[in-house]
Amino acid sequence: MARGIPALLSGDNEAPISTLRSISFARDDLACFDETLLQRVVDQTPEILPIRDFYPAVSSVCSLGREIPVDLGERQGFIDNLLVTNDGHLVLVETKLHRNPEAVRDVIIQTLQYGMAVNNMPLLELESRARRGDRNGTLLRNDETIRARVFGQVDQGLMTGVPDNFEEALERYMRTGEILLLVVADGIHTSVERITHWMNKSGRNSPTMFGMVELRFYELPDGQRVIIPKTLLKTREISRHVVVVDIRNETPATTTATVTDELQIASGGKTKESRPVKAASVPLTKTTLLELVPAEAHQAAALVIEQLEALQFGSQGTNSTLKFGFTSDNGEFHAFVALDKFGAWVGPLKKDADRLGYDAVLDFRKGVNQFGSFYREDQMVRPDSFGCAVKYRQLAESARAFATFLDGYRSKLMELLGSVEC
């Protein structure tokens, strides 16, 4: 949707009305600024963000600092801005400039990784990390808790509507993943918008919310600047309800069924025959697959799955495998890798291999063989051959590179399909 240009009115109703000059995305503009300005704006005036577009009940928000360090496993990341609402929801902000056209998927994945890291973090650890942020921001003092920061803001009249059980609500929302992830920029690339539309469409079984906010800068006649915030896109909240069924029993639960059919016989009469009905197999999940993997390969298998999930591969279980791939716009699942209790099999489905073409499939096989012997020499030149399974322990050291390689071919196929999934 197009946006109009703001106009400036003076106190005199008869005075001329002037429009404001938009500070251009092209950074030869003399009024250009760097990414730290966006962080400073959010840190010092967190209320500029339209949080109520995501959480309508929120009445106020406060900053917990800038450049908050978080452990992402193989590396350390930094949350650009960390905020908390009056009702206990954390808001993680990733700031980006329009002039920095980083890989779109990297921006989204980085933001989601921060959300997952905080989701798995005890409150005391989060507070400890918030004290180690950028000293130029409003980080927590050495002896300050998040609760103390919030109620200090209440005492100053800067926050309202904070419940007595604020800290309990904060811990609960962190544990259940009810966190708001925002990409805040001075301009949003269309490709990023398409990804948010895809996230809306495909949905996630998580109450985490994701959105994009644009802070558009305009220059006043006296040289000052005005910032106009706008929510561009947001994902719908999937659910706030978690149902846990915990059956503690040494013997697995089983069901049996017998169906009685009434049949016509040749003499004209009828007879009844009974037959057992086999229960449908339960599709594998990440948890049940790892239970089947031998103990010596368990850690390696978990690492392979972790890297695939980090790149937002979707999963689909059968009774013996857990497949990873993506779902296209028409609802069809396109698998690239299948995991069973012994190891991993790779390769696109035949219809997807036909879309990629003979040369691309051969390149795929040559490339993926750098991580393990998925294809024998005689299978390299036969695109219809199925390939071999590679043990998890062979993939452990290169699990991240393996997932990244598959991600490249996912992008190629998605482009052929015209899908917006990433």
pLDDT digits (tens, 9 = 90+) for 179-233: 999 988 876 655 555 665 555 554 444 578 888 888 888 888 777 888 888 887 6
Last residue of a domain, one of 234, 249, 273: 234
Q: Is 54 a member of any domain?
A: yes
Last residue of a domain, one of 215, 234, 253: 234
Last residue of a domain, one of 234, 251, 267: 234
Q: Is 277 a member of any domain?
A: no
76/215 same-domain check? yes
Out of 1-15, 72-86, 218-232, 353-367, least confident range: 1-15
Q: Is 239 a member of any domain?
A: no
Q: Is 278 a member of any domain?
A: no
| Cα–Cα distance measured from residue 308 to residue 311, given in angstroms and rounded to the nearest whole number | 5
Residue range 47-51: mean pLDDT, rounded? 93
Question: Residue 116 is which amino acid?
Answer: M
Domain count for the chain, please give it: 2
- Quote the tokens at residue 111: 């933001």
Buried b (16+ CB within 10 A) or exposed e, 49-58: bebebbbeeb
Q: Is 159 a member of any domain?
A: yes
Q: Is 271 a member of any domain?
A: no
Q: How many CB atoms lie within 10 A of CB 310?
A: 20
Nearest to 133 by CA among 190, 215, 64: 64
Cut 0.85: pTM above it: no
Range of the domain at 155: 7-234
Q: Is 263 a member of any domain?
A: no
208/313 same-domain check? no
| Cα–Cα distance measured from residue 342 to residue 359, given in angstroms and rounded to the nearest whole number | 30
Q: What is the pLDDT of residue 78?
A: 93
Inform me whether the pLDDT recorded for 361 exceeds 70. Answer: yes
Instruction: Read off φ and ψ for residue 330, nearest 5 degrees.
Output: -90, 10
216/338 same-domain check? no
222/80 same-domain check? yes
- For 28-37, the CB contacts below 8 A with 24+ separation are 31/217, 31/219, 31/225, 33/217, 34/97, 35/95, 35/96, 35/97, 35/100
Across-strand partners of 219?
Answer: 21, 225
57 in Cβ contact with 87 (< 8 Å): yes
Which residues touch 120 (CB under 8 Å, ≥6 apart)? none
More confident of the two residues 257 and 45: 45
Nearest to 313 by CA among 400, 222, 194: 400
| Cα–Cα distance measured from residue 275 to residue 261, given in angstroms and rounded to the nearest whole number | 8
Nearest to 57 by CA among 197, 237, 206: 237
Q: Is 224 a member of any domain?
A: yes
Q: What is the pLDDT of residue 220?
A: 83
194/301 same-domain check? no
76/220 same-domain check? yes
230/326 same-domain check? no
